[in-house]
Structure formats: structure tokens, C-alpha cells
Structure 1
Amino acid sequence: MADQDEDLIPSQTAGYKVGQKKTLEEYNSLDANDESLKKWKETLGLGTPASGPVDDPRRVVILEIALEVPGRTDVVLDLSTPELLENVKNNPFTIKEGVEYRMKAKFRVQHEVVSGLKYLQVIKRKGIRVDKTEEMIGSYGPNPNSEPYEKKFMAEEAPSGMIARGHYDAKSKFIDDDGITHIEWSWSFDIKKDWD
């Protein structure tokens, strides 16, 4: 049986080849006269000075991940500091059985472009894997306005019924095409008959 770390290896797409890594300056000088490429680079935040605090070497800063349920306040997991990350691990939250929800992430990209950012999640119950999620987030450049990016994932439905109710452990990570893990953490939740 695979452990959670092996479960958090991203799938490979046949025939997909990761492009050569480039600096912001290299991207800015690429095909300077190509108008469509210029617009694409602007959407990535290229053409502006590299952003991010000099004393913070992280390329991707995951600020939070949230559970969005129509008609309810979001359940937000603050991941912005190591202390808050540890807090998430020790404080399970409740999901009502059968409810439709979607996950969303808020993050910043700083210093350079990140390509093929993915979210991976493995959920286990009593040590047995019950779900694996792999969500492509995309490629992003540093945002010159320091505004965080937000990515909403596909809508899902929580399992329901007496057998589905109980405690679940999860492990998640954000990884890019270069194989860099930007953050990895453990968390847990309980599926109950109601929100209580």
C-alpha cells in the first residue's frame, strides 16, 4: 500500500515536455515585436519589476485555501505563516454530508514566473485512501499590484450516509512543473449529518 507521500506525486501527461526555465528578463526580451505574445506576457505580470520582499525567497506564497458552500460563510484555512499552518493541522472543521462545495486558493507569486502550478490532495479515512484530487492551477508571473491570485476548483459533492460520516485526514501540496513543492501540509475534517 502506498503512503501519502507517494500518493502526492503528480500525474504525468504523455508527450508533455516542460519548457526550459527562463528568468523574467528573458521572458521580457522574447519576441518584443510580437503583439499577441506581448499581451500574454502582460497577463503574467511580466514587463514590471520583480515583486516580493527581498527577504522572502519563496516563489509562491499560499495565503489560504477555503471551502466555498453556497449560502454559507467560507471555511478558510489560513496558511500564510508556519504557525497558522500548524494550527490547521490540529483543528478539524465540519462538512455537512451531501453538500455541494468547491475549494478555492488564494496565493501570491513573487520574484519569477511559476509554470504549471498544481494542487494535489489525498484524503484518507482510518488509514485507507478514499480520494485523490489533482487540480491544475496554471502558470503565473509576479503580480505587480501585490494582489493575490484566486483560483476556484471544480465543484464537488461531499459523501453522504451513515457510512460516510466520520473523521478524515488529508494531506495537500502545491507543486509546479519544475518539481518544486511550494507548500505541503496535513489537515483534517469531519463529515457530519449537519454543520454543528
Structure 2
Amino acid sequence: MNKSDASEHEHLDEDEVNSKYIPPRNVPISELWNKDQDDQSLTKYKQQLIGGAINVIIEPSIESKLILKKLVLIPEDHGELVFDLKENVDRLKDQVIALKEGAVYRMKLQFYVQRDIVSGLKLVQTAHKGPIRTDKSTYMMGSRAPKAELQEYISEKEVAPSGLMARGKYHMKSSITDDDKNIYAKWEWTLEISKDWK
């Protein structure tokens, strides 16, 4: 929810969201690794691209390729506002995050990728004030290979809405998806735009 001029994320209308795009067949990383082994230049390229990703498993008990850790709002003139996504995200529904009107901020998402490459990772957020949808944003996070290290995405700067009509509580719905239409997480929360920091 923003007044961003950033090109890194886009506002999608319903026609774009419901397009008839069919993603290509998902090829497991092991299959990519084993193809064309007699081509030395391609093998070298795959080593640079994939590295040791073929055997990365962070949490053996979690089958998902994506393990979320935190979503952080980083205002320029205030401390970080942190969502812990490690536990059950359903409990976030009752959490309220207050943001000062007109505040300049960035969003940071921290996560692990394990088992396989995720293609076209994206964060989709919708904001409703009462029954009216006021914003829908899609943040393109790119394709990510498995790594033992924590990975993160940081958005471009955004500006929170301001003015009397913008103040109040917004019901937020967030989800993490990829080009293959896998949904890695969905959660709801409340964003409050206030005259000052609370």
C-alpha cells in the first residue's frame, strides 16, 4: 500500500491476475544438473548458477521449497516493524502494525530456499478499508536457488498514504507465490495509518 514510483513492483488488475498464462513444466534441479554433462562450458555455467544448491535442505521436516522467517517494514524515521513468520501465520490476524501517514519505508522479506529452485517468486498484498479494496500490489522477488544462507528481498522506497481520508485501519491480505502458482504462505493482518507514530 503505497504511493511508490518504484518500477520493482506493479499494481495488477483482475484481468492480469486471471490471465491464461501457463507456466512451463517445472524441472527439478537434479534433472537440470544431470543434463548435458558432456558439455564442459555448460557444466561450468551450471556450477556457477546452481553451485552446491542441489543438496541444500534446511529443515528436513518441511517439504516446502520456501521457509519464511520475517517480514519487516523499515521506515526511514522510526524503528523496524517486524512480523515473525516462523510460527503459525494465522496468529498474525490479530496483530496491528501502526505506520505514520506519509512515512517513507521499505519492506524486507527474509527466507530460506531449500530442495529446489523457486521461479518467479512474488509477494502479493491487498488492502481493504471497510468493504472497499484500496490497493493491490505485487512485488517481484525473482527466481532463487537453494542456499544454506538466509536470503532476503528488500523493496524500493514507498510512501504511506496521508491525509484525513487515508487514516484508519486497513485489512491486509498477503501471500507468497511463484510462477508455477504454488502458494507458499498466506496471512492476514491489520495496518493502521495514523497521524503520528504510536
What TM-score does the superposition give when structure 1 sets the normalisation length?
Answer: 0.83
Superimposed CA distance per residue, residues 27-61 of structure 1 (whole angstroms, 9 cap, x where no aligned partner): 21234435477446534455541323322111111
Aligned with 1:184 (options 180, 183, 186): 186
Which letter maps to 1:19?
P
Q: Which moved more, 1:27-36 or 1:132-141?
A: 27-36
Assess, with a 3 A threshold, how the Cα gap between structure 1 residues 46 and 115 changes in structure 2: closer, same or farther: farther
Q: Secondary structure at the match of 2:146?
A: coil
Structure 1 unaligned runs (5+)?
Answer: 1-6
Aligned with 1:65 (options 44, 57, 71): 71
Superimposed CA distance per residue, residues 123-169 of structure 1 (whole angstroms, 9 cap, x where no aligned partner): 000121001001111111210xx211100112211111111110111
Assess, with a 3 A threshold, how the Cα gap between structure 1 residues 11 and 154 changes in structure 2: closer, same or farther: farther
Q: Secondary structure at the match of 1:154?
A: coil
Shift of 1:116: 1.0
Shift of 1:76: 0.8
1:114–1:139 CA contact under 8 A, matched in 2: yes
| Identity within the alignment, % | 30
Aligned with 1:175 (options 165, 177, 191): 177
Q: Which moved more, 1:130-139 or 1:62-71?
A: 62-71
Which residue number in structure 1 is paired with residue 165 of structure 2? Answer: 163
Are residues 1:119 and 2:118 paired? no
Assess, with a 3 A threshold, how the Cα gap between structure 1 residues 45 and 99 changes in structure 2: closer, same or farther: farther
CA distance in 2 between counterparts of 1:75 and 1:10 reads 33
2:127–2:170 CA contact under 8 A, matched in 1: yes
- Runs of 4+ in structure 1 deviating by more than 2 angstroms, as ranges, are 7-20, 29-48
Which residue number in structure 1 is paired with residue 111 of structure 2? Answer: 107
Q: Secondary structure at the match of 1:68?
A: strand
Which letter maps to 1:78?
D
Shift of 1:62: 1.2
1:8–1:173 CA contact under 8 A, matched in 2: no
1:67–1:103 CA contact under 8 A, matched in 2: yes
Superimposed CA distance per residue, residues 51-98 of structure 1 (whole angstroms, 9 cap, x where no aligned partner): 23322111111111110112432111011111xx23321110110000
Which letter maps to 2:66?
V
1:44–1:140 CA contact under 8 A, matched in 2: no
Q: Secondary structure at the match of 2:155?
A: strand
Which residue number in structure 1 is paired with residue 92 of structure 2? Answer: 88
1:28–1:47 CA contact under 8 A, matched in 2: no
Superimposed CA distance per residue, residues 155-192 of structure 1 (whole angstroms, 9 cap, x where no aligned partner): 21111111111011100100111111000010111101
Q: How many residues align?
A: 186
CA RMSD of aligned residues (A): 2.7
Assess, with a 3 A threshold, how the Cα gap between structure 1 residues 8 and 178 changes in structure 2: closer, same or farther: farther
CA distance in 2 between counterparts of 1:99 and 1:18 reads 37
What TM-score does the superposition give when structure 2 sets the normalisation length?
Answer: 0.82
Q: Secondary structure at the match of 2:24?
A: coil
CA distance in 1 between counterparts of 2:170 and 2:195 reads 15
